[in-house]
Amino acid sequence: MPIYHHTFKIQSDARPTFEDVTEQVEAALAESGFKDGILMVFSQHTTCSVLIQEASDDTDYWGTEFLMQDLVGALGKIIPTCLTQNQYLHPGPMHIEAALGRDELASWSLNTDAHLRSVILGRSVLVPVEDGAMVLGEFGRIYFADFDHTRARERKVRVQIIGE
């Protein structure tokens, strides 16, 4: 039983970004030719998550789907947006020193909120594959979520399928 790997990229904004990647994942599944198996969508970034959620239809003035902005609002009650240092314990002095040593701006480390929000939601989702299609039900969509508001970035989304 072979394993199929596929990686694609998305562009995030300097605010929590939720990208519906269902079509890209479906294209990867079609390209693999697999009819049966388990499909994983994975983020290697520790401020990002992969989610299965219903599409919200409506979007706010920033283009964020209502349900995703509601998610940001709910998590924000216990993990408020990180505005400056010492709001959270992290980043501490050793972390900042290491970041500066990598030629990062210190302000890029003010993404503690993103690390915490994303770990609660998880780094990957699994979807069964049957008859060559993902079993997502009538409403399930796959989203890549980037919670890092400190900078816009190119992000990698990884699809891996085990099956036949």
According to CB under 8 A, which one of 25, 71, 110, 157 is a site residue for a copy of itself?
71
Interatomic CA distance for residues 91 and 107, integer angstroms: 10
The answer to whether 8 and 101 are in contact (CB under 8 A) is: no
According to CB under 8 A, which one of 18, 42, 144, 147 is a site residue for a copy of itself?
42
Give Rg (Cα) of the chain.
17
38 scored as a contact of a copy of itself (CB under 8 A): yes
DSSP β-bridge partners for residue 92: none
Question: By the criterion CB under 8 A, which residues form the site for a copy of itself?
Answer: 1, 3, 5, 36-38, 40, 42, 44-46, 51-54, 56-58, 60, 65-67, 69-71, 73-75, 77-79, 88-95, 98, 112, 115-116, 119-128, 130, 135-137, 139-140, 156, 158, 160, 162-164
